[in-house]
Amino acid sequence: MKAMILAAGRGERMRPLTDATPKPLLKVAGKMLIEYHILALAKAGIKELAINTAWLGEQIKTALGDGSKYAVQIQYSDEGGQALETAGGIIKALPLLGGDDGNAPFIVVNGDIWCDYDFSNLPAQPEGLAHLIMVDNPQHHPEGDFALHDSGSLTTEGEDKLTFSGIGVYHPDLFANLVATVLPLAPLLHNAMQQGKVTGELYQGQWLDIGTPERLSELNQTESGR
């Protein structure tokens, strides 16, 4: 199984920290955010990684290289001057992700989250087109994203919505017949949910969306004190 780390975004909410440093390279307790993902994926036995780049992408390539120092293989999907958003970035990177026959499911994780999720728990074959890891709603996102039902299905409507963690397994068919242009992921997920083809699970371990300098500072204080 292969994995993709999303790392192309500008990180507007993290300015001025991201004016000169791409957000995935910001550090928590002396380690770059993206390194936590790489090491966790490697620990789970996932050694073939794709990373998309746009804003200050050369810094990411220089920092991580080919992945050999992490015992993984890293390939880069360069989106040029403008990031293609989540779905667009995944579509552009599909040749790096789908396995020998181009039809194998793959993992995608947002490069700007911090968590202790064990990637070995993800299903190698989602029941439908996607399997998403959900978390309890943080204070800054109280309304949540999707409703998780007892059957394991996810829907756009329902009570007690949870927040999408930014970790998921996707089947290439979710992106069938789409071209690599600026395209968010949410509309594709909404459409697949209407077809009953998205499942999920609740994760209640450590997870944080590093969306502001204040959250990064709080996390650094917590982790540096461990």
Confidence band, pLDDT 50/70/90 cuts, at residue 213:
confident
The pTM of the full predicted model, rounded to 2 decimals, is: 0.94
Does 213 sit behind a cis peptide bond, omega within 30 degrees of 0 on the bond before it? Answer: no
> Which amino acid does the sequence have at 150?
D
- What would the two tokens of residue 93 be? 């990177």
Residue 98 pLDDT > 80: no
Nearest residue to 46 (alpha-carbon basis) of 66, 22, 73: 73
User: Rounded to the nearest 5°, which phi and psi values hold at 58?
Assistant: -65, -30
Residue 144 pLDDT > 80: yes
Residue 96 pLDDT > 60: yes
Residue 226 pLDDT > 70: no
Per DSSP, the three-state class of 24 is: helix
Confidence band, pLDDT 50/70/90 cuts, at residue 19:
confident
What does pLDDT average to over the chain? 92
Which sign does the torsion angle of CA 109, 198, 119, 159 carry? positive
Averaged pLDDT, 181-199: 96
Domains of the chain: 2-224 (3.90.550.10)
Distance CA 178, CA 87 (A): 9
Alpha helix positions (H), the chain: 33-43, 57-64, 85-93, 186-194, 213-224
Residue 92 pLDDT > 60: yes
Confidence at residue 216, expressed as pLDDT on a 0 to 100 scale: 85
Distance CA 8, CA 24 (A): 9
